[in-house]
Amino acid sequence: RRCNLTACSSKFVLSQVHPMWQEPLAIPGGDRQSPIDIVERKSVFDSKLKPLVTNYDPKTCQQIWNNGYSFLVEYDDTTDKSTLKGGPLQDQFRLCQFHFHWGECNSWGSEHTVDRRLFPAELHLVHWNADKYNLFEEAVVEDNGLAVIGVFLKIGKRHEGLQKLVDALPVIRHKDSVVEFTKFDPACLLPPNIDDYWTYHGSLTTPPLTEAVTWIVMKQHIEVSHDQLAVFRSLLFTAAEEEVQKSMVNNFRGTQPLRGRTVRSSFT
Ligand SMILES: NS(=O)(=O)c1ccc(NCc2ccco2)c([N+](=O)[O-])c1
Ligand SMILES: [Zn+2]
């Protein structure tokens, strides 16, 4: 579905936008799926939530690649050099990668929504519990295995830190293309205030959809320019040799039932 002016209005019924993959019929357990709509007035302030402590070493940045769902910036997670702790977390988690989800136009693209409000894109910084497990693959099936920081993107001024990443995208246009990417500090993608967040227990938002994630969704968004986000849309879902090339857009999952979960907030 091409995005034209009328279709792009935020009133446009989202169900007509084709998500990137068919939802599986049965999901294991399936009562703590992600993403969700965060209803601000139903979130519960928890004074026991501590400030988040990120400690990222840009030297652990290794590569950027197109996995056919999104583009990922991967970090060396064989040592405790880039870590996340504090907030709702009991253990220390290691950064393994970050990636984004976005729409075909600026009216939608995020996975989480806030009071049904959609953002043009969402950043996910993925970490795994290195106090309890030895590998990401082990942690991804455990309910305290992963911690993902979600940051909403809004269209505004150009994000200087993001530009290095945007400049690398044309080189990884096709699925399975990889390029070396070093010395990128993911902290530059966090909003100024990381003390205000919502947190809840959920899942990966793409297969295998395992319910292993402590989600930490930032209240404050970051701004990127219209042109920077347009470069995200120049990526392709398809590999170079495929006949029909498909633009990598709308790579987000729709919101899932809350199933009685409580969303806690670190702020009043
Ligand atoms: N959108 S997300 O942050 O929830 C997310 C989804 C899938 C995967 N991975 C998919 C996967 C395959 C085998 C094990 O894991 C990841 N991740 O790996 O960080 C993150
Ligand atoms: Zn994601």
Ligand 1 centroid distance, CA of 149 (Å): 13
Structure tokens at 216: 């930490």
Q: Is the ipTM of this complex over 0.95?
A: yes
Going by C-beta distance under 8 Å and a sequence separation of 6 or more, which residues neighbour residue 138? 145
Asked if residue 35 has a cis previous peptide bond (ω within 30° of 0), the answer is: yes
Atom 4 (ligand 1) nearest CA? 204
Query: Cβ(218)–Cβ(153) under 8 Å?
Result: no
8 Å CB contact between 120 and 107: yes
d(CA 216, CA 190): 12
For ligand 1, say whether the CB of 210 is within 6 Å of any of its atoms.
Answer: no
Query: How many Å apart are CA 104 and CA 14, to the nearest integer?
Result: 12
Global confidence as pTM: 0.93
DSSP state for residue 183 in the 8-state scheme = S
Tokens, residue 266:
């670190």
CA angle at 130 for the pair 113 and 261, rounded to the nearest 5°: 30
In tens digits, the chain (268 residues) has pLDDT values of: 344 444 444 444 454 555 556 676 666 668 999 999 999 999 999 999 999 999 999 999 999 999 999 999 999 999 999 999 999 999 999 999 999 999 999 999 999 999 999 999 999 999 999 999 999 999 999 999 999 999 999 999 999 999 999 999 999 999 999 999 999 999 999 999 999 999 999 999 999 999 999 999 999 999 999 999 999 999 999 999 999 999 999 999 999 999 999 999 999 9
